[in-house]
Amino acid sequence: MSQNPNRKQVRVWVDGCFDMMHHGHANALRQAKAMGDFLVVGVHSDEEIEKHKGPTVMKEEERYTAVEACKWADLVVKDAPYFTSLEVMEKYNCDFCVHGDDITTLSDGTDCYQAVKDAGKYRECKRTQGISTTELVGRMLLMTRDHHKRRSSIASINNEDLTSFSSNIKHNPEIKISHCLPTSKKIVQFSEGREPEPGDKVVYVDGTFDLFHVGHIEFLKRAKSLGNYLLVGIHDDQTVNAIKGVNFPLMNLHERVLSVLACRYVDEVILGAPYSVDENVLSKVYKVDIVAHGNTPSLPDVNGKDPYELPKALGIYVEIENPSAEITTDGIINRIIEHRKMYEERQARKNEKAKLEEERLNQK
């Protein structure tokens, strides 16, 4: 938008569930923010979502935190009504409402945005293809507890594991490998492109950042507080697969990169960062002053060495207290597995709704 100081600020309203906040959600907020100057994001409560849509994976406070961490959100309104009214938009001085190009309805089938549509205060943004909370839950429903055991080392993946994984796909036609194919344009749209200023203290962290969640967010927030510029290394899919097991990562490298880039505490990422922090990481991108890591043990690299051996030797390694033992990628997967029947029923309802929506669009 224009930076003319005399122009009235354009305030935009967006609302939603934002369950398991992913890069599709972030892209909607990015598009909405581009239509104005100030983005107000309403997030529905667990009770409201249960009533109209079904159970959430993430609790409401976790969802509020996830949206607040998105760099395009200027204000988060907690417990926003499921039906978007003119009254709530007026309360926050919003000029119009933005939603994706799909229909959202109340439990009785009423269009959630009918009131703002009738008032001419509704705009649409393009939905991100290939990613949704429903799709992510579907990926997890194909897993069991045995499918995500940690390995003893990054080198422990073997041909038997890969053969088993291939067989699992072959005999389970419902298994879908993610087809998210972000272009360079999409990555640029998510990236700030900011370089460190002279004198900035550059902090480096690395990890898988699969199913990007509030545990990751709090860790990145604490890491950013150690300096002025946060550089995040994200391991490629093959490395994550070797660390975590044959069903990982649940999100491919590009999905994970976009999720991390959308976080307000992150300044830049390294795609496919090496598992061990080496001289290239410490000096070839930017001069790294601090390497931070959580206080959980790291698996040794293929050579049997500590992946943080170099920064420890240089005296620039800092350990960060892990935010929460409950909010982890494995913890989220366990929520799905432990309530498999409930989420399978939810998936069936969502799939039927998507089928009806597709038929509606085809009839246009």
- Domains of the chain by residue range: 9-145+330-363, 184-320
Residue 360 has pLDDT above 70, yes or no: no
Confidence band, pLDDT 50/70/90 cuts, at residue 147: very low
pLDDT band at 76 (very low <50, low <70, confident <90, very high): very high
Band (pLDDT 50/70/90 cuts) for residue 166 is very low
Contact 55, 65 (CB under 8 A): no
The whole-number pLDDT of residue 195 equals 94
Share of the chain above pLDDT 90, in %: 59
Return d(Cα 141, Cα 328) in angstroms, integer: 17
Position 173 confidence tier, pLDDT thresholds 50, 70, 90 = very low
The mean pLDDT of 253-261, rounded to a whole number, is 96
User: Which residues, listed in sequence order, are joined to residue 11 by a DSSP beta bridge?
Assistant: 38
- The Cα–Cα gap between 259 and 190 comes to 9
Tokens of 234: 């994200």
State how far the Cα of 186 lies from the Cα of 254, in Å rounded to an integer: 10
Give the tens place of pLDDT for each residue, 268-278: 999 999 999 99
Q: Which CATH class is domain 9-145+330-363?
A: alpha beta
CB under 8 Å, gap of 24 or more: what pairs does 112-120 form?
112/82, 112/83, 112/84, 113/84, 115/83, 115/84, 115/85, 115/86, 116/84, 116/85, 116/86, 116/89, 119/86
What six digits make up the tokens of 83?
Answer: 């039906």
- Predicted model pTM: 0.84
Q: For the residues 335-356, what does the mean pLDDT come to?
A: 75
Q: What angle do CA 107, 112, 116 make, to 5 degrees?
A: 160
Q: Which residues contact 58 (CB under 8 A, 6 or more apart)?
A: 19, 20, 21, 66, 213, 214, 332
Residue 123 confidence (pLDDT): 96
Q: How far apart are the first and last CA of the chain?
A: 33
215, exposed or middle or buried, with CB in 10 Å at 0-12, 13-18, 19+?
Answer: buried
Whole-number Å distance between alpha carbons of 154 and 304? 9
Q: What's the whole-number average pLDDT of the chain?
A: 85
9-145+330-363 and 184-320, same CATH topology: yes
Euclidean distance between CA atoms 55 and 343, whole angstroms: 8
- The CATH architecture of the domain made up of 184-320 is 3-Layer(aba) Sandwich (3.40)
For 93-107, what is the mean pLDDT?
85
Q: Which of 30-34, 162-166, 347-351 has the lowest mean pLDDT?
A: 162-166
94, 12 in Cβ contact below 8 A? yes
Angular region, 312: left φ>0, alpha ψ -120 to 50, beta rest: alpha
